[in-house]
Amino acid sequence: MGYTHMKVIATRPSNLEALDRIKEAGHELVVGRDPGSLSREPFTEGELMELAKDADVLLVGQDLMTRPLMEQATKLKLIIVPFIGTDKIDKESATDVGVMVANSPTPENFLSVAEVTIAQMLNLVKQTKHKESELRAGRWGASVVRGGYLFGKTVGIIGAGYIGSTVMKLLQGFDCTILYHDVLEKPELEEKYGAKRASLDEILSEADIVTVHVPLLDSTRHFIGRRELALMKPSAILINTSRGPTVDQAALLEALKEHKIWGAGLDVFEEEPASGDNPLFALDNIVVSGHVAGPTRESFPRRAEFAFANIRRAINGEEAINIVTAT
């Protein structure tokens, strides 16, 4: 049985492409920030509590969903994110209070993150950042740094889910040897992409490039730490476009400063938003971006459509899909 009236709160205006149909169907839609705002600053818990207090559905970005918030939002039925990661949501508490949590794993999002992963590999291997800096400083042809090949390298993929397997697909044109580490054996990836399943330690010690694509769980926090970095080749590159805390930032900083590994590409950080005085930013052997690998002009409409379809299911009294926390 459907609901005659529901209140849907979208904390960010960027997810509204498909959501106006909620209003057209006679339901209430409230946006946490002005539609013209481009701010990515997180809401405080107090602000979120005020927004959520009489909400039936919350469509959230990188907003912290805590037990106190969910306990006081007595009408809340569904929290949904228009992307994959749900690590900002206390899913155990959501289960306890009877709130469903769903994500939106659209192919567009997988492809965008995978493309950024490849771009960071190429940027580091080709030394594009360094060469551009030399040129902008007026030193034409002065750089003695020579770029290398991605072609033929051994790439280790930690986490062979949606994004990790898309990285495998994109690497086919570079004739790379692909190793993967995953909780599951995936013979279909081995057949399609020639990937070989390996232990974490084998990947770390053998790969020229290691790229991390695991969700942030208790078991994956600091999954890559001092021990793991010490296993990598001095010539190796680490890429992280998953979640910042999967890599121990202090250990990575030490490894990069002491040239225990050659370089790193980071879209995510242990603390976000990352401050301008983050010591990693002072290094010249990294490429960084600010947790922007997923969003694109093309992906936003599709992600909004996916989220809207799930919200519509909730409004119609149907079971939402892509539930990551059971009620």
Contact yes or no for 193/178 (Cβ under 8 A): yes
Does 204 fall in a domain? yes
Does 160 fall in a domain? yes
Three-state DSSP class for residue 82: coil
Binning pLDDT at 50, 70 and 90, where does residue 234 land? very high
- Same domain for 74 and 11, yes or no, is yes
Q: What is the Cα gyration radius of the chain?
A: 21
Packing angle, helices 299-315 and 107-126, rounded to 10: 150
pLDDT of residue 25: 67
Domain around 201: 107-288
- How many helices and strands (H and E) does the chain possess? 12, 13
- Same domain for 117 and 235, yes or no, is yes
Nearest to 288 by CA among 274, 302, 307: 274
Which residues are tagged catalytic?
243, 272, 291
Higher per-residue confidence, 29 vs 121 = 121
Does 33 fall in a domain? yes
Binning pLDDT at 50, 70 and 90, where does residue 40 land? low
Q: Which DSSP string corresponds to 149-209?
A: -STT-EEEEE--SHHHHHHHHHGGGGT-EEEEE-SS--HHHHHHH--EE--HHHHHHH-SE
Number of Cβ within 10 Å of residue 75's Cβ equals: 12
Does 1 fall in a domain? no
- Same domain for 45 and 19, yes or no, is yes
- Same domain for 95 and 219, yes or no, is no
- Same domain for 241 and 269, yes or no, is yes
pLDDT of residue 20: 67
Does 2 fall in a domain? no
pLDDT of residue 165: 97
- Same domain for 113 and 243, yes or no, is yes
- Same domain for 31 and 119, yes or no, is no
- Same domain for 172 and 205, yes or no, is yes
Binning pLDDT at 50, 70 and 90, where does residue 30 land? confident
Does 202 fall in a domain? yes
The DSSP element (H or E) to which 306 belongs, if any, is: helix 299-315
Q: Which amino acid is at 92?
A: E
Q: Report the C-alpha gap between 162 and 104 in whole angstroms.
A: 12
Number of Cβ within 10 Å of residue 238's Cβ equals: 28
Lowest mean pLDDT, pick from 217-231, 258-272, 285-299: 285-299
pLDDT at 39 over 60: no
Higher per-residue confidence, 234 vs 23 = 234
- Same domain for 92 and 172, yes or no, is no
- Same domain for 164 and 15, yes or no, is no
Instruction: Please write the tens of the pLDDT for every residue from 47-79.
Output: 899 989 999 989 888 889 999 999 999 999 899
Domain count, the chain: 2
- Same domain for 90 and 162, yes or no, is no
CATH code at 204?
A: 3.40.50.720
- Same domain for 29 and 139, yes or no, is no
Bridge-based pairing of strands 237-240 and 209-212 is parallel
Binning pLDDT at 50, 70 and 90, where does residue 327 land? very low
